[in-house]
Structure 1
């Protein structure tokens, strides 16, 4: 089995941690809770968004 040069070991090291960080970020983003405005009823939000602005599904 051929030996890897030190530069290749560094590239593999950073590639591994980049993949770990990317997967953990995607998992965190998929389970992230949606923030809601407290003290305002949902019906008022819908009335305001439908009359003045386009409603966005975040």
Structure 2
């Protein structure tokens, strides 16, 4: 098995973590839930049925 120069190991290291970061970002982006902020004036006009569609943070 041929040996790699240190610069090639650094390139492979950064390439690996770039691919891992890009993949995890794309997976997170595809499962991301949209959250909308409603103003106080609009909340007073909405009914209870509209509030069941609002998403809340899990934490």
Query: Normalising by the residue count of structure 2, what TM-score does the alignment of the two structures yield?
Result: 0.61
Shift of residue 26 of structure 1?
0.2
**Counterparts of 1:26-45 in structure 2 under 5 Å?**
26-38=26-38, 39=43
State the match for 1:11 in structure 2: 11
Write the distance in 2 (CA, Å) between the matches of 1:25 and 1:10: 22
Which segments of structure 1 move beyond 3 Å, counting only runs of 4 or more? none
Gaps of 5+ in 1: 42-58
Deviations 1:1-58 (A, max 9, x none): 11000000000000000000000000000111111243275xxxxxxxxxxxxxxxxx
Please tell me the root mean square deviation across aligned C-alpha atoms, in Å. 1.6
Write the distance in 2 (CA, Å) between the matches of 1:11 and 1:18: 10
Paired residues in the alignment total: 41
Gaps of 5+ in 2: 47-59
